[in-house]
Amino acid sequence: MCGIVAYIGPRQAYPVILKGLKRLEYRGYDSAGVALLNHGLKVYKKKGKVADLEESLIGKDLEAHAGIGHTRWATHGEPSDRNAHPHSSASGKLAMIHNGIIENYTQLKTELTKKGYQFKSDTDTEVLLNFIEDIQKNNNCELEEALRIALKRVVGAYVLVLLDQDNPDTIIAARKGSPLVIGIGKGEHFLASDASPIIEYTKDVVYVNDFELAIIKADELVLKNLGNEKITPFVQKLDLELTAIEKGGYDFFMLKEIFEQPDTIFDCLRGRLDVNNRTITMAGVQNNIEQLKNANRIIIIACGTSWHAGLLAEYVFEELCRVPVEVEYASEFRYRNPVIHAGDVIIAISQSGETADTIVAIERAKEQGAFIFGVVNVVGSSIARISNAGAYTHAGPEIGVASTKAFTAQLVVLIMIALKLAKEKKSIDDDRYVYLLNELHNIPEKVKEVLLLDDDIKKLADKYKNAKDALYLGRGYNFPIALEGALKLKEISYIHAEGYPAAEMKHGPIALVDDSLPVVFVATKDSYHQKIVSNIQEIKARKGKVIAVISAGDDMIPKMADDIMMVPEADEIVAPLLSVIPLQLLACYIGIAKGYDVDKPRNLAKSVTVE
Ligand code: G6P
């Protein structure tokens, strides 16, 4: 959370930073600000979105060739102008932006307050900045040295970027726990939380590692560790096109990303699934096959939508591979004292690869000897780098805060891993294996068919947009989809929604049912179909409004449901890839009908880099 951008070089810094901040707004949009170096330090900041900052700066002198910018997701201190970044030091000579949390900031603040420091904001960032300046003053040292000393005292996670009025040709940055990419141009450098602000200028990038400091001039990049030793930067080529991060004619990224799913699923399968040769090629699985085959247990850790993908994977792995699976919220796993054995395999699922809780959960499991397999979307992200092995989801950049295409890509990767493992373990018979390969292969075309429901779902959205609550019910493989459908609705339309296993509704949620409650059933044809039909009848008997996602050819549910969304028939293991799509569209259109910015739902951020 929080996006950072910086520039140093011959271009005007402000337009580069502003454009970059707009691309990083998915990381937070409570406030935005820039600091520019031009005959002194100028800091401008504003509560609200980057566009609000831009408007407030019309007519200002923004000339500068070095600058830093920030878009905030508030942690310490409410969203306001004064809590917005960049923060200035007491002397006014330093400005700093920060992504992360300084956990021991109250202790540092007490020390500084005793020395007479006063603070203009409620943030941990301002405290750290003054702590750095205080060290610099007391030790009469360079900023770089003061930063190194300060960071040895800091507990928490950060990317920090500093401007120093007395050294206008240098930007200094440091990283621990939050992401930082440096773009290397000709006589210029770019810094950002991810590569999106950088790609139109250069494809040469360096991903900064934890506990590294970057000292950057227009034509020089020096990386050092906290012990002041130089590190050779590892320059990589970006594999990302500008079009991938633009809206491409859609009003919202979320809609674009929903409609991209035939392609993203195809991309995810491409080069891996070969129906003719009946193979799945995944180097990360193949190279570690003994480890995976011999796992006593698989533990899946993830957060949010990725956790829902993990829940579905539990069902698939247990069914196909006959291995016990547990699914854990990373935020719980990291703090309890889980029993982990050396033979355990952890599958960590993350779109961003930067979710703080998932990263720490991985570290805890690694310490105890577990093997970590990452299922990650963002190439080169922290989780991709700390995993022992992994598979990318290849969904391309996902910018809408509510995850859609990354979720279906995660499911595809997880199903492929399960199939490959099942084949190796001989826990699946050949006919079923070949059948499921074909079923997966056919998914992109079937997703295209589902997307034709677009107009009908818009009408449904209009019909149900004023609901106060909604219940989402599913059984078996469709239970995680019910959870995901409910999450999508509450995230972007602010309608209270709960997902439940359909049979469990009798143990509580059924008390909520009346003629105003929409109940969404995820009821595609599977082994439990007859059971879910009974659940629908139970809701109808209590006058609930039933909206059902059903399979083509189902002639029973249309007679009972108020509204239906029909998807092509598919095996129950791959059917969730179809049944989730109408739910994504429904949530998206309800959000839009209510006039909300579905790409930037209130209080949320796409990449949760704080715990
Ligand atoms: C945030 C996002 C969700 C995402 C979750 C986990 O809450 O808004 O869309 O599912 O983080 O993120 P990850 O990047 O680890 O999948």
Q: Report pLDDT for 27.
A: 84
- Is 331 close to ligand 1, i.e. is its CB under 6 Å away? no
Q: pLDDT-derived band of residue 554, with 50, 70 and 90 as boundaries?
A: very high
Task: Return the CATH number of the domain spanning residue range 3-243.
Answer: 3.60.20.10
Looking at the domain covering 248-441, what would its CATH class be? Answer: alpha beta
Q: Report pLDDT for 246.
A: 77
Tally of CB atoms within 10 A around 165: 18
Task: Report the candidate in 128, 235, 222 with the shortest Cα–Cα distance to residue 184.
Answer: 235
By most ligand atoms within 8 Å of CB, the mutation choice from 194, 257, 303, 379 for ligand 1 is 303
Q: Bridge-partner residues for 41, per DSSP?
A: 37
Task: Report the candidate in 20, 3, 9 with the shortest Cα–Cα distance to residue 66.
Answer: 9
**Separation between Cα atoms, residue 475 and residue 512, nearest integer Å:** 19
Structure tokens at 557: 């549910």
| Residue 504 CB-half CA count within 13 A | 12
Q: Report pLDDT for 43.
A: 97
Task: Report the candidate in 576, 552, 411 with the shortest Cα–Cα distance to residue 477.
Answer: 576
Compute CA distances 476 → 259, 277, 534, 575, whole Å: 26, 31, 15, 11
Residue 254 has pLDDT above 90, yes or no: yes
Active site residues: 2, 606
Q: pLDDT-derived band of residue 239, with 50, 70 and 90 as boundaries?
A: confident
The pLDDT tens digits for 75-105 are 888 899 999 999 999 999 999 999 988 989 9
Going from N- to C-terminal start, the domains of the chain cover 3-243, 248-441, 450-599
Q: Report pLDDT for 131.
A: 97
**Separation between Cα atoms, residue 457 and residue 588, nearest integer Å:** 10
CATH topology match: 248-441 vs 450-599: yes
The pLDDT tens digits for 491-521 are 999 999 999 998 888 888 888 888 889 999 9
Task: Report the candidate in 539, 550, 544 with the shortest Cα–Cα distance to residue 506.
Answer: 539
Atom of ligand 1 nearest to the CA of 403: 9
- Is 382 close to ligand 1, i.e. is its CB under 6 Å away? no
Q: Report pLDDT for 461.
A: 97
| Alpha helix positions (H), 465-513 | 479-493
Model pTM score: 0.82
Helices vs strands, H then E, count in the chain: 21, 27
The pLDDT tens digits for 434-470 are 999 999 999 999 999 999 999 999 999 999 999 999 9
Burial (CB < 10 A; 0-12, 13-18, 19+), residue 277, is: exposed
**Cis previous bond, 86, omega within 30:** yes
| CB of 400 closer than 8 Å to CB of 489 | no
| Residue 164 CB-half CA count within 13 A | 20
**Separation between Cα atoms, residue 73 and residue 608, nearest integer Å:** 9
| Continuous segment of H or E residues that includes residue 263 | helix 261-269
Distance (angstroms) between ligand 1 centre and the Cα of 355 equals 7
Tally of CB atoms within 10 A around 479: 25
Q: Which residue CA neighbors atom 8 of ligand 1 most closely?
A: 606
Degrees, nearest 5: CA angle 344-346-348 = 180
Q: pLDDT-derived band of residue 178, with 50, 70 and 90 as boundaries?
A: confident
Atom of ligand 1 nearest to the CA of 383: 15
**Separation between Cα atoms, residue 197 and residue 170, nearest integer Å:** 20
450-599: CATH architecture: 3-Layer(aba) Sandwich (3.40)
